[in-house]
Amino acid sequence: MMVIGIDLGTTNSAVGYVDGDEARIIPNDRGARLTPSVVAITEKGEILVGDSAKNQAVIHSERTLSHVKRRMGEAVHLRLGARRLLPEEVSSEILRKLKTDAETYLGTEVKKAVITVPANFGDAQRKATIEAGRLAGLEVLRILNEPTAAALSYAWRHPDAERLAVYDLGGGTFDVTCLQKNGTDYQVRSSCGENQLGGLDFDSLLREELLKHFESEYGFVALSDSLVLQQISEMVERAKIELSSRESAAIALPFMGTGGQPLHLSYEARRDRFDQLIEPMIERTFALTLQAIEESGFSKVDALVLAGGSSRIPLVHRRLGELLGLKPSGGVNPDEVVALGAALYGSMLAEGQRFNGSGRRRLRDVTSYTLGVEIDNGKVAHLVRRNTPLPVDARRIVTTVADMQESVEVHVLQGEGPDVQSNRSLGRFMLSGITPARRGAARIEVSFLIDEDGIVRVAAVDTKSGRREHVTVRPVKDEQQEDARAISHRLESLSLRIRSDIEELSVPHELLSDIRELLQYSDKVRASGEESALREAEIALESIIEELISIREDLEGSSREHA
């Protein structure tokens, strides 16, 4: 049974397989080892994925979707040309391409896969990933955490390393994981991270800096033209990558028209300034790294494994080395290590089926959340602590607080705090039909089951009557992660979409000036970073998008009528 391992990345994706005892990357149809996680649709309705989609992104931004991983698990329809797709439907196109490329390369049909996700992905995001696999014609044998995959890949080839720390900084997310290896047993000891921290944030910081420079130097703000903004974004990312091997990188935008003389804009990005800009974010990753090591109980780390493209930034290497007194391990390609680990895990699962479990390698991951239920007086009983090995089956008996009570409400909470206020509510459900009795006599068993994909099910059973209710809850990102930066990112992409729409649609005049005002306002709000204003601006821009969609639909309707 061939099982492929897929690293479905924010920026790029990779696919691996195991040949003998060795994991290898499968090149795509262009011979490249990474495939951009970009999906586009042509005028004729043909879907493009990867490099061909990325290459046309600047000129056809309205027909291109990238960074969809950041939206996984959200119930939103993303616009791809005239189509509206859920994030998992878009991701399924990427997976379908990876599957096809793997089949062509291996010369055999591929039906099963292990797909990786950030350790901090919640339930809804994991389910959306499984659904994306299903839509692509893949049976997803397991959802595996990315840093766990990276650790597995390293540990496989380095038998001496027993205690590993994986620092995984990609395009959109940061994760850190500590893994202990004991013979053929791989046990994750701790894991934490942030869902909205990565290379895209560094790009934004550098782009802001460049736009400020253009404004002060040329009195020119390029923000109003979406095509120029897209171009700038690409150049900024290229310059950022160059700064990992050089002290400075030039960005040039020749022939920028402002009505009069064409301007030749240029900017020299410098590594020392870039380091200053990203330092606060990098510091946050270090604080989480120290937290993960502390929670692992390791007295010492044997190997530090870097994963994710952004871990190549020299500041990260240098400071992380100083922080832990340990050089990052060599011989690891941070772009490939996750897909290789996923492939190895796929082969472990296949091997397990072949040998019926005897003497095989085992991998145990942990849950990233603390979950509990509300009990008396607004207090919380924690049933599952963060970093509990998966799968989890945690149970607790609760009871009634009034005589003859026939129903109880189960309030599911996420967080470490002792009372309801300091936790986050994930949902409530009623269990009714309880056998009436004195207060405190009923025995209701609440159970939390978390499977190896990290998906959570909560159930309550009245042990006397056998009545049972359950819910599937969605653990959410920690409060701090849904912060100003995340909303600011979404605002930025909403603004880009609106700018390209108003250029191409015939928007009524009055609406146009309102939209322009709103866009200017949202640019200001983005610069201020004020969270409640960001939320308001996001809602306002979303409603504009709705209006633009209906204008587009009207236009499409009338052009069909004319045809």
- Report in angstroms how near the CB of residue 308 gets to ligand AMP at its nearest: 4
Per CB under 6 A, the list member of 36, 50, 199, 415 interacting with ligand AMP is: 199
In this structure, are strands 362-364 and 185-194 parallel, antiparallel, or unpaired?
A: parallel
Taking the CA atoms of residue 539, residue 545, residue 548 and residue 549 in that order, the dihedral angle to the nearest 10 degrees is: -120
Site for ligand AMP in 250-309 (CB under 6 A): 308-309
Phi–psi pair at 24, nearest 5 degrees: -135, 150
Residue 552 CB-density burial (10 A; 0-12 exposed, 13-18 middle, 19+ buried): middle
Nearest residue (CB) to ligand AMP, 244 versus 465: 244
Per CB under 6 A, the list member of 10, 148, 347, 368 interacting with ligand AMP is: 10
Question: Do 171 and 186 contact (CB within 8 A), yes or no?
Answer: no
- Per-residue DSSP letter, 73: T
CA 184 to chain centre: 30
Nearest residue (CB) to ligand AMP, 172 versus 415: 172
Question: Do 183 and 301 contact (CB within 8 A), yes or no?
Answer: no
Q: Tell me how far apart the alpha carbons of residues 558 and 524 are, in angstroms, rounded to a whole number.
A: 37
Told to check if 126 binds ligand AMP by CB under 6 A, we report no
- Report in angstroms how near the CB of residue 195 gets to ligand AMP at its nearest: 13
Question: Do 451 and 391 contact (CB within 8 A), yes or no?
Answer: yes
Told to check if 313 binds ligand AMP by CB under 6 A, we report yes
Told to check if 116 binds ligand AMP by CB under 6 A, we report no
Question: Do 152 and 291 contact (CB within 8 A), yes or no?
Answer: no
Question: Do 172 and 8 contact (CB within 8 A), yes or no?
Answer: no
Nearest residue (CB) to ligand AMP, 14 versus 548: 14
Q: Tell me how far apart the alpha carbons of residues 452 and 142 are, in angstroms, rounded to a whole number.
A: 7
Q: Choose the stretch contacting ligand AMP; rule: CB under 6 A; options: 7-15, 124-132, 425-433, 475-483.
A: 7-15
Binding mask 215-254 for ligand AMP (x = CB under 6 A): ----------------------x--xx--x----------
Nearest residue (CB) to ligand AMP, 200 versus 222: 200
Q: CA-based Rg of the chain, rounded to a whole angstrom?
A: 25
Pick from 154, 185, 168: which is nearest to 120 by CA?
168
Q: Choose the stretch contacting ligand AMP; rule: CB under 6 A; options: 18-26, 181-189, 310-318, 554-562.
A: 310-318
H or E segment to which residue 176 belongs? strand 174-182
- Report in angstroms how near the CB of residue 34 gets to ligand AMP at its nearest: 7
Per CB under 6 A, the list member of 5, 6, 8, 9 interacting with ligand AMP is: 9
- Report in angstroms how near the CB of residue 276 gets to ligand AMP at its nearest: 16
Nearest residue (CB) to ligand AMP, 189 versus 489: 489
Nearest residue (CB) to ligand AMP, 249 versus 548: 249
CA 117 to chain centre: 7
Site for ligand AMP in 330-369 (CB under 6 A): 335
Site for ligand AMP in 428-487 (CB under 6 A): none
In this structure, are strands 380-384 and 163-169 parallel, antiparallel, or unpaired?
A: unpaired
- Report in angstroms how near the CB of residue 334 gets to ligand AMP at its nearest: 7
- Report in angstroms how near the CB of residue 314 gets to ligand AMP at its nearest: 8
Q: Choose the stretch contacting ligand AMP; rule: CB under 6 A; options: 4-12, 381-389, 474-482, 516-524.
A: 4-12
Site for ligand AMP in 364-423 (CB under 6 A): none
Residue closest to ligand AMP, measured at CB: 199
- Report in angstroms how near the CB of residue 7 gets to ligand AMP at its nearest: 8
- Report in angstroms how near the CB of residue 173 gets to ligand AMP at its nearest: 8
Per CB under 6 A, the list member of 83, 312, 424, 552 interacting with ligand AMP is: 312
Site for ligand AMP in 12-51 (CB under 6 A): 12
Q: Where are the beta strands (DSSP E) in 456-541?
A: 456-462, 468-472
> What is the dihedral sign for C-alpha 133, 139, 142, 144?
negative
Q: Tell me how far apart the alpha carbons of residues 403 and 284 are, in angstroms, rounded to a whole number.
A: 51
Site for ligand AMP in 149-188 (CB under 6 A): 170-171
The CA-atom distances, in angstroms, between 310 and each of 150, 219, 237, 307, 315 are 15, 32, 11, 8, 10
Told to check if 120 binds ligand AMP by CB under 6 A, we report no
3-state per-residue secondary structure call for 479-497: HHHCCHHHHHHHHHHHHHH
Pick from 235, 223, 201: which is nearest to 490 by CA?
201
Per CB under 6 A, residues contacting ligand AMP are 9-12, 170-171, 199-200, 237, 240-241, 244, 308-310, 312-313, 335
